[in-house]
Structure 1
Amino acid sequence: MDSKLDFKVIVELLRCHGDITINSKCDYEEKGHWQIYKFSMRQALDAASIKYLIYFYSDATTDSVNRAFSRVSRLGDPIVVHPVSMELNIKTIVGLDNLSVYTTRQFLVKLITSEINDYKKKISDLTVDNYIQPTIESEDASRSFPGVKVGPSRDKGALKVLLASPGQGKSFFSRHFASSMTDIIPIYIFSNQWKSIFESDLKSIWSTLTFCFNYYGASIHWVEGHEKRFLKAMLAAGVFQIIFDGFDEYILWNNKTVSAEEALRSLAELAHDSNSDIIITSRTTFWNAAVNDDVLSTLPCDVDVFHMKSFKDEQVERYFKLTIESEGAVQKALKLYKDLYLIFADRKYNPIGKGVTISLLADLFKYGHSVSDLRDHLNGRSYLAWLMERLCEREERRQQIGLDFQTQLKVFKDFIEATASKLGEGSGEVLEEVLEANGVESHQIVDLLGGADNRALGKLTSHPLLCLKDSEDNVWAFRQEQIFYNLAAQRICEYILERSDVKGELDVFSQSDLLAFINDLISLNSLHASNVALAIVEYSFSRQDLSKAESEVVSIVQFLLSMGCSIHFNSQLSSLSLLGTTLALQAISKLASRSDVHERTRYFKKFLSINDMFSDLYFNGEISAFDFSNCHFSNCRFVHTSFSSCIFDRNTKFVSCYTKYLSLLNSDTFASSSFKNCFLDEDTVYIIESLKAKRGETKYSYILLIKDIKRVVDEFVYRDALIMKGVDLADISMSQVGLSMNYDVIMDMFFNNALDKESGSYGDTAIIKQGCISDFSFYAENNILKGSLKKIEIELKKKLLG
């Protein structure tokens, strides 16, 4: 119950509100019964002149209530706040019917009512049609999902992690869950929001969580800079519930400037401190590769992992009945579904039970279309490719569009290639050009796309794969992300597997086209590379047995890497190499579990090395659970790369390699490697020097001391400005300076000379001393230590270096 919520948490938040004045400590109190605070608000919650706020504990008695009111009776009616668990009727006790009395939750909701009303309506409008509850199973039979507890109604909070493969229905579920919440306001995070947030804000998990209000036009301005306090207080009081859809995409979109461990630890601390469950969704492959069990065991709250399973026959039938009018068509669709399912029945995971597959099957039959056979069990095509063919075939008959299914799919793939930089979203003019290039006559194009004044009448506007996204601006896009990425994967595989000659080489023109296509598609973005790689893996593994699929992916990887080999990494060649390495890592995750380091390393070498030599590779993201002993990396780039649970030794060599924003997790032996002619960014150099000094391999130097000091100061600089609200000590210890062998001594010196420690309800915060602000500002502008910071340098030099 919210009787466990310390009202100090609420006070700390109120002090962040620009229109509220309240002391950090109560002015009067009766321990265990009530606290009284002087309180004023520029635009008061109810009355015009409120001077006091009384907070009653759940154990308050009638006598203690009367004693509290006797304290403030001469100063006007106060605002009264109490836990929901309190059973006393305060209005009756004091005889004031007009008294403003709130539960803690009601009080906080009142503070943000004007901003939050539109937000709540927009979230409730996200309802999904024809929703079918998926089967969700826990790794721990005692856990339930979505049996989510909110706020202080449970003893401790937890992370509820929902894993599934792409297209299974995670986002569909999350959207339904958020829109159907009534008592609690969802903080609903999903990937579309990230396109309009500042990159610097996206790196902050707290700013990302609260940006959902801005996204829906409900900005709570006074929260900026105080996001962490706001979230902890609001979740603890049961005002909000976090639904974080696409945790994997958030990490990948940031190009690893935020690590999975760092983000998970922040979310776990929030769940723990607020006693609230936080829902996270992620692709299974990402979670297995990026999240270490050792990390989970150190988090401050439980992590309950759940898996979204394939839809069962009865669920599929129920969905078909919701979306297809004819009972006969429902039964035909169900028969096809079962026939397809049997083809993959021996697979560990049956892709036919995915949400995206079922929705396309329903679309295929809702206009009375039928499929007489499975074309010789798909005849070497992926199930999704086969299904898209049938949908296009259906459209040819239903709308008489004059294009056979082969031409339709070629047009769509050509459109993807022409609009790759915008991920398959492009103008009608581009689509018209693509149609013309495929021999479609002008009168047919008008019939397909509609005229300038009647675009909605174009026959392609109701196509199951493509849609007119914006009729006013004439923008076309694919209906589902999975359709776009699957068609993009098919086009890449066509280039490599079908257009290349017997030597596995492309002609100059095809090579140039493929290079441009992949560069536009990937743009050195690890999320895009991951999505394309996953689609290629799915395309290959769903068409053939495991051995053939493995060989095919190996050949695709090696083809991409052979095209991408260059001692001069330009963006186009880097995109090829990034896709090649990402594809290899995605395939390895499918072929070997994270716990089998030996098998994973064997596959890593098979996909990416020649005689244990890894050359001209571009890595971006997580490299986890490999043994790189005796391995040589030559001319490789590691950009926003994290080595997690990897093994290195003195025979691991990096030659002419490049690093930028590299990080380590349980991979300290990285410092044992040798580095020759490498361009190592300052982060990598600092990691290596710190680890070697900590292990006694080198002496702690003056240069390393300066780096340690500057890294502490850097924690207080954001967008070239100072963070005046303070920085959590836990965040500083988790940063790179936490690697220093002298971390504790250095922080003690900072607190003696430049920082104050403020103890809050949820841990300690470091705040710049008033007299030292100019020294930090000078450093932020000039990167030079002076004043109190110079004094810290001098005293630490004496203390640590003699």
Structure 2
Amino acid sequence: MEQLQFSEVRQLLNACRLTEISDTPINSEKGRWELYEGAYKVHIFKHKFSLLYFFSDVRKEDLRAAKRAFIPNETIVVYAPSVSILPSIKELFSNDAMGLWSTPEYLRSFMINELTAYREKLIEDNPQDYIAPGFTVPAGLNRKYPNPITLFLQSPNSGSENESQGSLAVVLAEAGHGKTYLCQWLVARLARDDTNILPIYVNSAQWKLLRNEDLVSLERTLVSSFRGVGTPIPWLEGQEDLFLKVALKAGLFRIIFDGFDEYVLRNPSEINAIDVFDSLQNLVRNTGTKVVITSRSSFWSSELTDQLQDEQHETYSQYSINPFGAEQAKQYFEIKFRDSPEKIGLAERYFRDLNKDDASLAGRGFVLRLISDLVKSGYSNDGDTTSDKPLMKLIRAHCDRETVRHSLPITSGEQIEALANFVFEIAQGEQNTSETLSYSISSVVPGLSDDAILGLLEKMAPHALIVRERGSWNVRQQQVQVALLADKLVKFTEKGEQLFLLKRFSNKAKIDLSEGSDLASMIVSITSWDKSPTDAIEKIRAVIKCFFDNSESNLDAIRGECLRMLSTLIAYRALEIDSSIKTQKERSTLFASFFPEPNFKGVVFYGGITKLDLSGFIFEKCIFDNVRWANCTFDKLTTIRNSRVLGGSETYCNGFQDISFHNIQTDESGRDFLNNVDIRHGKKKYSEELLRKDLYFALEQFIGKGGVGFKSVEQSLLGRSKISSSIHKEKILNEIKSNLLEQHHVSTASRVAFSISDSAKDSVKSLISNNMLSGLVLDVFVQLKSKLID
């Protein structure tokens, strides 16, 4: 890691606009100490002071000269944390100094009020019913106590870029398993500790409020955590990058990033998972901080596992949350029902019954909460004979209790159907209002009058599964909403009735990739429960066939058809059903068999596709929407025809260049992707047109937001823009470095950055604004043309 420089701290503090510390010292002994002039600014007034800074290498004999330069009662003393003669410094200066701080303490003092409020907010959000899960740790062993993630976060900043276990931890689990609860507990635990280390806690509740241009900036997303909990630090806006580098090097913070997958999937066309991961890893390397990120296991497996195989990514540690067992469930119920052994026993019995039916489901955190809510309501049913799937059985039990508790005029089955209709309509863009819920109820129980439905809504306002807040109705738990929608979609395929509603859903529903992944996983769970792998696979084939039969098959409509995207996600999740399927060829054969047409016809591919041998397969009228192929095999018989390619990438694939493409539509990024594959494998020559475009992409990253002005780009980020896919990326970047860019250091530290040189700005502006080659840019183009084309 890079060492924290006082010049970086000074630059950051000057940005707060309340303090002004001179750029150069008025007195110094090189590498030992420096004396600066400073002033606190309040309105039109300035209160002057001096600041004496001691480097880590200061010696006792250096203190005499520093003392002579020291102005008593007007000088602040700041020292590097690693200084070895601190007792001597305190003895000589503490009585006459305005203050004596280490560099981190001095930096913290400028945010002390905001950080105190931030700490209190984080502690307030500590989940009171948290139960520690078990983890599968990087060594492959199961661990529970002490919490391995807590130990990771509390360990000191790394002093090396290559710690054996790394300083970035990835925590994996499926939706509803307790990742967010874990993060809330970790955050509160860290905030309560006396270490003066605070978590920068990032979660979806914060970034959902960000504009897209802010969301694509990882730095702005991270720093938004202060504003997200209601304790903004206004002077950090515009200084996010510098703040993170300085504050993390100073050891003031750790980063807890909950929902890495949701962040990426919120804007997948602009945010690339591997780029975000690399940015976090660079932050760790440069600052020595500790970072914890959480993600759905399925997302990590499909999007990143195969891209993180090289040595560059070996330093991260992977943990998996294990399902809660009977002992942990008992601890949870004891917290919920401290004074009622009877309720604890009843909750344990419900858990055991569910655990016997589906241990992976029963062991999720949201299920424990559903059980405790059910027992709390007074529900007791010793003779449950329903044939519902485990989760739907629990949902039905809640509805049974609501019928009795509030004397509802509808049965539990009618409640479930009405709630399923409600989430079905919401997924298609309807508002979550009383009108929509009323319509959903009346479609199930048409005999109820309008007045009766209004009365029913009043009784349902405190319902166990749905809540009314400020005129809107929301299902209390996200996974319950997913289960209701999944169950309804599956029932369409089983009953074969009202399929016009399924067609309408396919056309209207707007489900993003994150929601679609959860929905697909739930559909696989529902259809495969209590079935052999063979029977489950047949059931899933029937579901997908029905989805295909009730969605448009023409190419122009496919991208907007929700059921086509959902079918692919279901098929991909279903590959895990049969544990005997292991090889790429076996996986590919099974994957293709889920779709009604031979090979792949009318299929929408989206996101990460890994570990398939697609040799000899034919793709007809398919959409490849920003597909990231990894560890896949193709050959000359692999054919893609009458299809559309939108963006895309391939890593660690064999034979991708051999695919036969016929009558393919592409967007610009898709065309660039395919061109670069052909050029890389000698199937196509690099042209002047491609060179011109690559040069444009290479220089575009130096243009400010909105096309206004110029900006610097750090060396580590230099190839991250659209130029990243070019076969000649390095040669083009080297040429513009030599002729169009100026090199400088970021914040006077050792990190290198580049900006457009003054002499090249006019010609760069001409290319970016008018697509004209002129001046120095034209010279660079000619040089590159002679090297790469002529």
User: TM-score, with normalisation over the residues of structure 2?
Assistant: 0.89
> Distance in 2 between the 1:601 and 1:631 partners?
9
Matched, 1:482 2:479: yes
Is structure 2 residue 589 aligned with structure 1 residue 602?
yes
Shift of 1:21: 5.4
Equivalent position of 1:448 in the other structure: 456
Correspondence 1:585 to 2:572: yes
Q: Which residue of 2 aligns with 1:33?
A: 32
Q: Structure 1 residues 669 and 726, CA, compared in 2 at 3 Å: closer, same or farther? A: farther
Counterpart of 1:410, as a letter, is E
Alpha-carbon offset, residue 640 of structure 1: 2.5
Check the 8 A contact 1:15/1:24 in 2, yes or no.
no
Alpha carbons 1:150, 1:275 under 8 Å: kept: no
Q: 1:682 to 1:573 in 2, by over 3 A?
A: closer
Name which of 423, 426, 440 aligns with 1:419.
Answer: 426
Q: 1:389 aligns with which of 396, 399, 403?
A: 396
Q: Aligned runs of 1:726-765 on 2, under 5 Å?
A: 726-760=712-746, 761=749, 763-765=751-753
Residues 657-736 of structure 1 mapped to structure 2, 5 A cutoff? 657-667=643-653, 669-717=655-703, 719-722=705-708, 724-736=710-722
Residue 653 (structure 1) aligned to one of 622, 639, 651: 639
1:783 pairs, out of 767, 771, 775, with: 771
CA distance in structure 1 between the partners assigned to 2:154 and 2:38 by the alignment:
29
Shift of 1:85: 6.3
> 1:181 is matched with which residue?
190
Mapped contact 2:704–2:710 kept (Cα < 8 A): no
Residues 650, 673 of structure 1: 8 Å contact kept: yes
For residues 104 and 373 of structure 1, do their structure 2 counterparts lie closer, same or farther at Cα, with a shift above 3 Å needed?
A: farther
- What letter corresponds to residue 381 of structure 2 in structure 1? V
Counterpart of 1:553? Answer: 540
Establish whether residue 208 from structure 1 lines up as the match of residue 221 from structure 2.
yes
Show the counterpart of 1:634.
620
Aligned-partner Cα distance in 2 for 1:117–1:690: 52
* Higher alpha-carbon deviation: 655-664 or 158-167: 655-664
How far the C-alpha of 1:393 sits from its partner, in A, is 0.7
Q: Which amino acid aligns with 2:461?
A: T
Partner of 1:67: 65
Q: Distance in 1 between matches of 2:345 and 2:155?
A: 45
* 1:609-628 → structure 2 map (5 Å cutoff): 610-612=597-599, 614-628=600-614
C-alpha distance in structure 2 between counterparts of 1:181 and 1:85, whole Å: 26
Q: By how many angstroms is 1:92 displaced?
A: 3.2
Q: Distance in 2 between matches of 1:3 and 1:732?
A: 19
Q: Distance in 2 between matches of 1:527 and 1:723?
A: 36
CA distance in 1, matches of 2:336, 2:215: 38
Unaligned runs of 5+ in 1: 451-458, 501-505
Q: How does 1:336-415 map to 2 (within 5 A)?
A: 336-344=350-358, 350-375=360-385, 379=387, 381-415=388-422
SS of residue in 1 equivalent to 2:550 = helix
Residue type of the alignment partner of 1:332: L
Instruction: For residue 180 of structure 1, give the secondary structure of its aligned residue in structure 2.
Output: helix
Partner of 1:126: 125
Q: Deviations over 1:76-133 (max 9, x none)?
A: 5245243176533635312544423222222222333455454433333222232212
Name the counterpart of 1:455. none
Distance 1:82 1:573, change over 3 A: closer
Identity %: 25
Asked if the contact 1:288/1:589 (under 8 Å) is kept, the reply is no
Distance 2:670 2:26 in 1: 51
Q: Classify the secondary structure of the residue corresponding to 1:262.
A: helix
Give, as a single letter, the amino acid of the residue that structure 2 aligns with 1:513.
Answer: L
CA distance in 2, matches of 1:765, 1:622: 32
Tell me the equivalent position of 2:159: 155
* 1:160/1:304 contact within 8 Å kept: yes
The runs of 5 or more residues in structure 2 that have no matched partner are 161-165
Cα displacement string for residues 417-456 of structure 1 (whole angstroms, at most 9, x for unaligned residues): 222246x971123223333442334454444333xxxxxx
Change (3 A) 1:518 1:574: closer
Residues 24-72 of structure 1: CA distance to partner in whole angstroms, max 9, x if unpaired? 776765455334555556459x98213x543323443343234234345
Deviations 1:714-740 (A, max 9, x none): 222354325744112222234442444
> Which residue of the other structure, out of 769, 782, 788, is the alignment partner of 1:794?
782
- Aligned residue type for 1:310: P
| Inter-CA distance 478–273: structure 2 relative to 1 (3 Å threshold) | same
CA distance 1:695–1:419, change in 2 (3 Å): closer
DSSP-derived class of the 1:650 partner: coil
SS at match of 1:258: coil
Q: What is the letter of the counterpart of residue 570 of structure 1?
A: A
Alignment check: 8 A CA contact 1:749 1:792 kept: yes
Q: How does 1:396-545 map to 2 (within 5 A)?
A: 396-421=403-428, 426-437=432-443, 438=445, 439-450=447-458, 459-470=459-470, 474-498=471-495, 500=496, 510-523=498-511, 525-545=512-532
**Judging changes above 3 Å, is the alpha-carbon distance between structure 1 residues 528 and 593 closer, same or farther for their aligned structure 2 residues?**
farther
Q: What is the rounded CA distance, in whole Å, between the counterparts of 1:26 and 1:797 in structure 2?
A: 49
CA contact (8 A) 2:2 2:287 kept: no
Give secondary structure in 1 for the equivalent of 2:628: strand
- Pair 1:798–1:37, CA change in 2 (3 A): farther
Q: Is 144-153 or 578-587 further displaced after alignment?
A: 144-153
Distance 1:63 1:193 in 2: 52
Aligned residue-pair number: 769
Task: Give per-residue Cα distances to partners, 1:494-521, cap 9 Å, x unaligned.
Answer: 11112x1xxxxx5xxx333223334444
**Alpha-carbon distance, 1:586 to partner:** 2.1
User: What SS is found at the alignment partner of 1:350?
Assistant: helix
Residue in 2 aligned with 1:277?
A: 290
RMSD of aligned Cα (Å): 3.1
Counterparts of 1:526 and 1:85 in 2: how far apart (Å)?
51
Structure 1 position 798, deviation (Å) = 3.3
- Structure 1 residue 415: Cα displacement: 1.4
1:167 aligns with 2:171: no
Q: 1 CA distance for matches of 2:2 and 2:721? A: 35
1:351 Cα offset (Å): 1.7
Question: In the TM superposition, what is the alpha-carbon distance from 1:488 to its structure 2 partner?
Answer: 0.5
Rounded to whole Å, the distance in 2 between the matches of 1:53 and 1:593 is 69
Query: For the residues of structure 2 that align with 1:137 and 1:793, how far apart are their CA atoms?
Result: 53
165-174 or 541-550, larger mean C-alpha shift: 541-550
- Relative to structure 1, is the Cα distance of residues 665 and 17 closer, same or farther in structure 2, using a 3 angstrom cutoff? farther
CA shift at 1:407, angstroms? Answer: 1.1
- 1:486 maps to a residue whose letter is A
Q: Which residue is 1:326 aligned to?
A: 340
Relative distance call for 1:653 and 1:54 in structure 2 (3 A) is farther
* Partner SS, residue 403 of structure 1: coil
| Contact 1:691-1:739 at 8 Å conserved across structures | no
Partner SS state of residue 630, structure 1: coil
Q: Residue type matched to 2:435 in 1?
A: E
Q: Distance in 1 between matches of 2:655 and 2:214?
A: 33
Relative to 1, partners in 2 of residues 1:722 and 1:79: Cα closer, same or farther, differing over 3 Å?
A: farther
Deviation at 1:6, TM superposition (A): 4.2
> TM-score by structure 1 length?
0.88
Change (3 A) 1:4 1:536: same
Structure 2 residue 250 is the aligned partner of structure 1 residue 237 = yes
Partners of 2:340 and 2:740 in 1: CA distance:
75
Distance 1:358 1:594 in 2: 33
Deviating more after overlay: 590-599 vs 228-237? 590-599
Separation (CA, whole Å) in 1 of partners of 2:726 and 2:636: 22
The question of whether the paired residues in 2 share the 8 Å contact of 1:396 and 1:405 is answered with yes
Partner AA of 1:172 in structure 2: Y
Q: Distance in 1 between matches of 2:617 and 2:629?
A: 15
* Closer/same/farther in 2, CA of residues 711 and 19 from structure 1, 3 Å limit: farther
Displacement, 1:712? 0.3
